[in-house]
Amino acid sequence: MEITILVDNTVLPGRGLLGEHGFSAYVRDGTESVLFDTGQSGIALRNAAALGIDPLEAGHIVLSHCHLDHTWGLVACLRAINAAGRGGRPRPHPTFLAHPAIFRHVEADGEPEIGMILSKENLARHGEVRLSHAPVRITDDLVFLGEVPRIFPFEGRTAVGTSGGKPDLVPDDTALACRTDEGIVVVTGCAHAGICSVVEHAKDVLDEERVADVIGGFHLGNAPTEQVEATCRYVRDLGAARLHPCHCTGFAAAAALARAARVDPTGAGLRLSFGSRS
C-alpha cells in the first residue's frame, strides 16, 4: 500500500507544492488507485503532476464528507475528466464513493454553502455514483468504512453549521482503512465522527487489532482540553506504530499526541508505503 498526500494545510519543504486549508490523498493498493478527497481549489491536480501522479488513473474517487475543503476540488477533477477524451486518451470513468448524506445542504458562519456544490446528477455524467452507509471493499484489503458509529462520549458530538435548520453533526463522515502486514492503516479526512471511533470502526471492519498508522485530520483544532486528553489516552493504549496527524488536528493537539505516540511530520508531498499482506 502506498499513500501520497496531495493537499494539506502544510507543505513539506523542497517539493515546490502548494498548500491550502484542505485535504487530499492518493492511495494505491496493488493495481487499484483511489483519490481520497480533492481539497478545496483544484491544487490537488497541480501537486499530483509535480509528484508524477495522474489522479485520473484512480478507479475510485472517495469522499470523506461533504465539506468544501474536501469536495470543492471535484470541480477541477470533472474538468480534467471531461477534457481527457479530447487528448486522444480514453475518458476516465471513476466510481464516486461516499455516504448517502454527502449531497445535503450545509451552511455555517454566514456562508450560504460549506458543503457539496455538485449534485449526484453532475457526478453521474462523469462516472458511477455509489452511496453506502455500510463499508465497501475496494480491494481485498482496502475498505471504505461507511458510517462510523460514535462510540466514545468525549468526541463526535460537535456540530459544524446547520442543515435543514438543525445543527449538523456531519453524519456522512467516513474514512479509508487498509490491512497491511504491519497492521491497519487508517486515512481520514477530518474525523468528525471522532478519531478514536474511526480507528475502532476500522479495527472492527477489518477484524484486526494492530494499527500501523493513522493519517489525516483528527478534528482536534478547537477541541476542549478534556477531549484532547481523552484522545491521547486512547492513542497511548492503542500502541500504533506511528501517527501522521494533519489538516484540522491543530498544533496544540498534535504536540499533545506526540507525547503519547510517535508523531511524524506531515504535509503535502508526504509519501508512505506499507508492506502488502500478499
Q: How far apart are the first and last CA of the chain?
A: 11
User: Long-range contacts: 153-156, Cβ < 8 Å, 24+?
Assistant: 154/194, 154/226, 154/227, 154/230, 154/231, 155/193, 155/194, 155/195, 155/196, 155/197, 155/223, 155/227, 155/230, 155/231, 156/192, 156/193, 156/194, 156/197
The pLDDT value given to residue 87: 67
Q: Where are the chain's structural domains?
A: 2-266
What CATH code is assigned to 2-266?
Answer: 3.60.15.10
Cβ atoms of residues 70 and 63 within 8 Å: yes
Q: What is the DSSP string of 7-61?
A: E-SSB-TTS-----S--EEEEEETTEEEEE---SSSHHHHHHHHTT--GGG-SEE
Query: In tens digits, what is the pLDDT along the chain, a chain of 278 residues?
Result: 999 999 999 999 988 999 999 999 999 999 999 999 999 999 999 999 999 999 999 999 999 999 999 999 999 999 999 888 776 778 899 999 999 999 999 999 899 999 999 999 999 999 999 999 999 999 999 999 999 999 999 999 999 999 999 999 999 999 999 999 999 999 999 999 999 999 999 999 999 999 999 999 999 999 999 999 999 999 999 999 999 999 999 999 999 999 999 999 999 999 999 987 65
b/e per residue 208-231 (b: at least 16 CB within 10 A): beebbbbbbbbbbbebeeebbebb
**Region class of 28: left (phi > 0), else alpha (psi between -120 and 50), else beta:** beta
DSSP three-state, residue 184: strand
> What single-letter amino acid sits at 41?
S
Work out the number of other CB atoms within 10 angstroms of the CB of residue 264.
13
Please name which of 148, 132, 66, 62 lies closest in space to residue 99, comparing C-alpha atoms. Answer: 132
pTM equals: 0.96
The pLDDT value given to residue 211: 98
